[in-house]
Homo-oligomer: A and B are copies of this chain.
Amino acid sequence: MSEGVEWAVHSCLNLSWLPSDRAAPTARLASLFDLPTAYLNKQLQALARAGLVSSVSGPRGGFRLAREPERISLLDVVRAIEGPEPSFRCREIRQQGPFGEEPDNHRQACTIANAFAEAELAWQRQLRGTTIGDLKAAVERKVPKVATRTRAWLVGEAP
C-alpha cells in the first residue's frame, strides 16, 4: 500500500480538530509532520475528488472535511488514494493454455479468486468499521492536549 495512505489518514485526523468554519492549507498540514508540501497536496486532491474533503482557493483557503469524522471510514480513505481495485486481481489465466477453452472454466467462478475475495472482504469489513471519528476519540483519550494543540497550529496562532 502506498505511503500516501498514511499521510491522508493523519491529515484527515488533523482536519477533524479544525474549527468547522475554517480551512487548513496544505503547507500547514504538511508542516505538522515535515512532509513534502506539494506531494501531500496531491493526496489531498485525491481525497477531494472522492468527496471526503472539500477545497477552497485563495487566501484563508485550504482543505476541510466534507462531512463529519464519524462518517469517514478508513476504507473510504484507502480507496480514495489507492483506487477501487482489489489488491488481488484475477487475470483468468485458467482460460489460456491447452484446456482454456473447456466450458467448465467459464461457468464456474475461479476458486482461487473466490478465496482472495473472501480475504479482501474481511479486510474491508475491518476498515469500514473504523472511522476518523473513532481514531479522533481514541487519540484524544491517549493524548488530551492533541486537540487544542493541533487546532492552534492549523489556524495559525502558533508560529
Chain A residues at the B interface, C-beta cutoff of 8 Å: 1, 3, 5-7, 9-10, 13, 31-35, 74, 87-91, 93-94, 96-100, 102, 104-105, 108, 111-112, 115-116, 118-120, 122-123, 125-127, 130, 134-135, 138-139, 142-143, 146, 149, 153, 158
Name the one of B6, B31, B115, B120 contacting A88, with C-beta atoms under 8 angstroms.
B6
List 8 additional A-B contacts (Cβ < 8 Å) besides A112-B135, A115-B134: A1-B88, A32-B98, A33-B96, A34-B100, A108-B142, A119-B127, A122-B123, A123-B123
Judge whether B93 and A33 touch: CB under 8 Å.
yes
Shortest A107–chain B CB gap in Å is 9
Q: How far in angstroms is the closest Cβ of chain B from A82?
A: 10
Query: What residues on B are CB-neighbors of A90 within 8 Å?
Result: 6
A-B contact pairs, 23 of them (CB 8 A): A1-B88, A1-B89, A3-B91, A6-B90, A6-B93, A6-B112, A9-B112, A10-B93, A13-B112, A32-B98, A33-B100, A34-B93, A98-B153, A104-B142, A111-B142, A112-B135, A115-B126, A115-B127, A115-B134, A116-B127, A119-B123, A119-B126, A122-B125
Which residue of chain B lies nearest to A119 when distances are taken between CB atoms in the complex? B126
A134 to B116, CA, bound (A): 13
Taken together, the copies of this chain in the complex come to: 2
**CB-defined contacts of A126 to chain B, threshold 8 Å:** 115, 118-119, 122
